[in-house]
């Protein structure tokens, strides 16, 4: 039980440090990398809440990601 608690604490600490030291765009990319299977099954409101932005700003981040992936379309 102690090891499970320690692992959960470490994961929470990593998440807090990543939230503090990363941009919203970087947090979104990390979310997509870490949870690829659920990113299209949950709402954008839930994703925005997880990465610490408003749903409107998440929309801006997603548009930026698309523009970077397809620069001339």
Residue 71 belongs to what domain range? Answer: 23-73
Q: Could you say which residues of the chain have pLDDT below 50?
A: none
pLDDT digits 0-9 by tens, 1-21: 899 999 999 989 988 888 889
- Residue 28 and residue 47: Cα distance in Å, rounded? 8
Would residue 54 count as lying in a domain?
A: yes
What's the pTM? 0.77
Question: 30, 36, 27, 25: which is closest to 62 by C-alpha?
Answer: 25
Render the burial of 17-50: b for 16+ CB within 10 Å, e for the rest.
eeeeeeebbebbeebeeeeeeeeeeeeeeebbeb
Would residue 17 count as lying in a domain?
A: no
Would residue 9 count as lying in a domain?
A: no
Would residue 33 count as lying in a domain?
A: yes
């Amino acid at each position: 039980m102690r090891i499970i608690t320690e692992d959960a604490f470490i994961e929470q600490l990593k998440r807090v440090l990543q939230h503090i030291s990363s941009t919203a765009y970087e947090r979104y990319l990390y979310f997509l990398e870490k949870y690829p299977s659920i990113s299209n099954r949950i709402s954008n409101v839930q994703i925005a809440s997880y990465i610490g932005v408003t749903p409107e700003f998440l929309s801006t981040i997603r548009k930026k990601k698309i523009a970077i992936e397809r620069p001339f379309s």
